Structure 1
Amino acid sequence: MSFWLPFRSREEAGRALASVLSKQKFENPIILAMPRGGVPVAIEIAKQLKAPLDFVFVRRIGVPGHKEVAMAAVVDGAAPELVLNEEISTQIEIPQAYIDREMKAELHEIERRRREYASTAAGPAITGRTAIIVDDGIATGTSMRAAINALRRKKPKELIVAVPVAPLETVNSLRSDVDAVICLQTPEPFYAVGMHYKDFHQIDDDEIAKALHEFRKGANLAQHTA
């Protein structure tokens, strides 16, 4: 068993992660937040690395009758990416009609969030750049794999996963999918991401909008004074 002190907040976790990432020599990095929980973490990284901030929108699809159990994840794009949780999908037979219906609903929510959060509707331009995917933590990795698969098609120079906390087994399973996985804590036993934060409140759209406004205001001020 391994024990770690919990992060006080997502912002503290972001600053700790930024400190590690800033020691790397990433070429032309772009920070890609996974809303909602990944946004406060990613903002701290973008500020420290002086890198642009964009988003990769992923939504989980739950098992019928047990929506909290993720059986798949979908990510937006010209060709939306669906990634199944193999462990669950081999145990439970899910009707294709259910998957199609849930995927359509989640893509609608993704479209709403992109309009709400992002400065452009086209999605991030990452070709030839170092794309750093950021979330507040990883559990099974289903959502992260969906993001990785979709972003690979955009041909980044490097694809990096950066999270404050995740199970070691999940971290190791992702290493072959990306150029690097940077994770600060791999507690054992893991249980859930929220257990490794003192403050893990549910973030709403208003909080995201306020945080993005402050970040963009600071970025614009830095550009004009540089």
Structure 2
Amino acid sequence: MRFGRVSPVAGPGRRASAYGGPEVRLPFDDRAEAGALLAARLSGLGLRAPVVLALPRGGVPVAIPVARRLEGALDVLVSRKIGCPGYPELGVGAVAEGGEPVFDPGMLRRTRLTEESVAHVVERERAELARRVAVYRGGRRPPDTAGRDVIVVDDGLATGVTARAALRAVRERGPGRLVLAVPVGAPDTADALREEADEVVLLATPARFHAVGQWYRRFDQLDDGDVLRLLGREPAGGDV
């Protein structure tokens, strides 16, 4: 089992610095600023021409400055939350492209659900995952990550279930070094994800963590068109 390292804890107005990187203050102005700060932190890890995989939608504007500074290849890795029937915002698992569903055993117990009882939700999310892959990648093949340094980027970690599914999907492809890079995350979640990546890099892990958006002054909701514009890609087969 592999274990990564995690940044020290920071709360609102407090600072966190790891691996000799710059200190940061919360909240971030926006995802672009968070990405630039994250890129500076990652530049000290000695990664070589990494593949930078953004979890859309929110991870894309964070990943752009990371890929630019590290001269990495930027693409997306679609990961979808498996919601509790009737309460879709309550995630009991997730599924990422190229991977199998990953469930949170604790959430399944608390909601009195089983993997079998949410099978219909999994199929629905697989369909939406396939739609987004087609839109974002437009028939392009995903980047080859075998033997290469890979950075998985998102805008924040709450439960971490979508990040876990994404990391496991990438691990199946045999990367040389697997890094999870996120500007801000819940402390317990960050610690739990150490077993999924070789490095877990966070700028801040505030103790009073309720939602990702609380740590950004500007936290716009993005749509498929925003993702395509950020990636510099035209919609496949017309408007999205």
Structure 1 spans left out of the alignment, 5+ residues: 215-226
Equivalent-residue separation in structure 1 for 2:168 and 2:153 (angstroms): 15
2:76 is aligned, of 35, 40, 55, to: 55
Q: Report what 2:63 is aligned to.
A: 42
Partner of 2:148: 129
More helix by share: 1
Alpha-carbon distance in 2 for matches of 1:208, 1:141: 21
CA deviation vs aligned residue, 1:69-101 (integer Å, no higher than 9, x gap): 001101111xx3111112111222325554221
CA gap of 1:25–1:96, structure 2 versus 1, over 3 A, is closer
**Partner of residue 44, structure 2:** 23
SS at match of 2:209: coil
Cα RMSD after superposing both structures? 1.7
Tell me the TM-score normalized by structure 2.
0.83
* Gap regions ≥5 residues in structure 2: 1-9, 14-25, 234-240
Residue identity matched to 2:160: G
The equivalent of 1:88 in structure 2 is 107
Does structure 2 retain, via aligned residues, the 8 Å contact 1:30–1:51?
Answer: yes
Superposed CA offset, 1:122-178 (max 9, x none): 433100001100000001111111111111110000100000000121111111221
Give the TM-score taking structure 1 as reference length: 0.88
Q: What is the DSSP-based 3-state SS (H/G/I as helix, E as strand, rest coil) of the residue aligned with 1:191?
A: coil
Equivalent in the alignment of 2:86: 65
Deviation, 1:27, is 2.4
Q: Deviations over 1:1-39 (max 9, x none)?
A: 832420111111101101111122112311000000000
Verify the 8 A CA contact 2:108 2:114 in the aligned structure 1.
Answer: no
Choose the corresponding residue for 2:121, options 102, 105, 123: 102
Name whichever of 92-101 and 186-195 sits farther off. Answer: 92-101
2:85 touches 2:118 (CA, 8 Å); kept in 1? Answer: no
Aligned partner of 1:45: which letter?
A: V
Task: For residue 12 of structure 2, give the secondary structure of its aligned residue in structure 1.
Answer: coil
**Code of the aligned partner of 1:16:** L
1:204 is matched with 223
